[in-house]
């Protein structure tokens, strides 16, 4: 993509989506160039698109292919609507239906055990003394517990946690504590924090302030930081949290599984799906609806408990 196209695309979508779209477009461009060095976006036909899909099927699953084709269709729509180009969209008629997979999640017992274990670890670090190693271990334990608590309390996405700012964390003693998150498409939403998450955040923010002062780090607003006071990247948070979870590191059982967990647990306890949609920041309620499948066991329990002829 040219620089001016990229700048305009930033207006209508988020940064991470831009990066993913760029990779998909570049992959197709490489494929098309190998077939025909003189190709152009405005002349791409169905034959090339079908060949590209066949190329992708040799190494990618249906979900990845569907995402890549969506990116290419979206790029042509962008060229038409924003750049005002009249070009055929050869990707429009090519569809690959991804399998409908149920999201992985942790049970309430697993999450309870995880928090108990992390609290015990924090308590142990406070008995280690005042050595540098002890202070590093204490800071990491306090921070890690706060991260998992916020993940579970808000149902936030990984990037939303990584970009969370101190300014957007509100912990008033006489009102509901909350955090403002910046989600997909630069959409903001407010999420409440439960009491354990508030306690974990208050304790962490105190340690964070001391660390930044000690390291003489230029003050920044990012909430979660590394041992040197630098903002943690998405990948650093993911690796850290994976090591803390009961099935962390298994496919689909990382930080995003905590998001699926709070959704499932709230539905099991009777939360309206519309409330859940707002909490998770879903644009479409059909996205939230997949958690109804996960809660089928709870539906069966309620049915056999309440139905008079069960």
Active site residues: 157, 184, 256, 259, 282, 291
Q: At what angle do helices 3-12 and 15-35 cross, to 10 degrees?
A: 140
Segment holding 25, helix H or strand E: helix 15-35
What 3-state class would DSSP assign to 121? helix
Joined together, the tokens standing for residue 42 give 């405005």
Residue among 42, 36, 37, 70 at smallest CA distance from 56: 70
DSSP 232: P
Segment holding 275, helix H or strand E: helix 273-280
Please state, in angstroms and rounded to a whole number, the distance separating the CA atoms of residues 2 and 39: 16
Please state, in angstroms and rounded to a whole number, the distance separating the CA atoms of residues 111 and 74: 39
In sequence order, which residues have a C-beta less than 8 Å from that of residue 225 and are 6 or more positions away?
143, 208, 211, 212, 231, 232
Residue among 295, 139, 281, 107 at smallest CA distance from 214: 139
Residue among 133, 108, 109, 137 at smallest CA distance from 123: 137
What 3-state class would DSSP assign to 4? helix
Q: Exposure string (b/e) for 140-157, b if CB count within 10 Å is 16 or more?
A: bbbbbbbbbbbbbbbbbb
In sequence order, which residues have a C-beta less than 8 Å from that of residue 293 and are 6 or more positions away?
102
């Amino acid at each position: 993509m040219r620089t001016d196209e990229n700048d305009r695309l930033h207006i209508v979508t988020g940064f991470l989506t831009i990066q993913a779209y760029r990779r998909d477009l570049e992959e197709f461009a490489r494929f098309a160039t190998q077939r025909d060095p003189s190709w152009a976006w405005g002349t791409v036909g169905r034959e090339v698109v079908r060949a590209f899909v066949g190329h992708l099927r040799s190494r990618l699953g249906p979900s990845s292919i569907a995402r890549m084709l969506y990116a290419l269709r979206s790029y042509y729509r962008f060229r038409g609507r924003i750049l005002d180009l009249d070009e055929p969209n050869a990707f429009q008629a090519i569809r690959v239906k991804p399998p409908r997979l149920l999201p992985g999640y942790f049970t309430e017992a697993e999450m309870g055990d995880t928090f108990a274990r992390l609290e015990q670890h924090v308590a142990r670090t406070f008995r280690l003394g005042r050595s540098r190693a002890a202070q590093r271990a204490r800071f990491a334990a306090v921070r890690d517990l706060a991260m998992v608590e916020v993940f579970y309390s808000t149902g936030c996405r990984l990037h939303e946690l990584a970009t969370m700012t101190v300014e957007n964390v509100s912990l008033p003693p006489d009102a509901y504590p909350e955090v403002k998150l910046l989600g997909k498409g630069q959409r903001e939403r407010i999420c409440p924090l439960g009491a354990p998450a508030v306690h974990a955040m208050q304790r962490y923010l105190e340690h964070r302030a001391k660390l930044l002062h000690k390291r003489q780090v230029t003050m920044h607003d990012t909430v979660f930081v590394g041992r040197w006071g630098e903002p943690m990247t998405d990948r650093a948070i993911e690796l850290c949290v994976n090591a803390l979870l009961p099935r962390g590191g298994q496919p689909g059982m990382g930080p995003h599984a905590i998001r699926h967990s709070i959704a499932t647990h709230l539905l099991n306890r009777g939360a309206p799906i519309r409330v859940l949609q707002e909490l998770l920041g879903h644009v479409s309620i059909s996205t939230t609806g997949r958690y109804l499948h996960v809660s089928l066991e709870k539906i069966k329990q309620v049915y056999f408990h309440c139905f008079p002829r069960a």
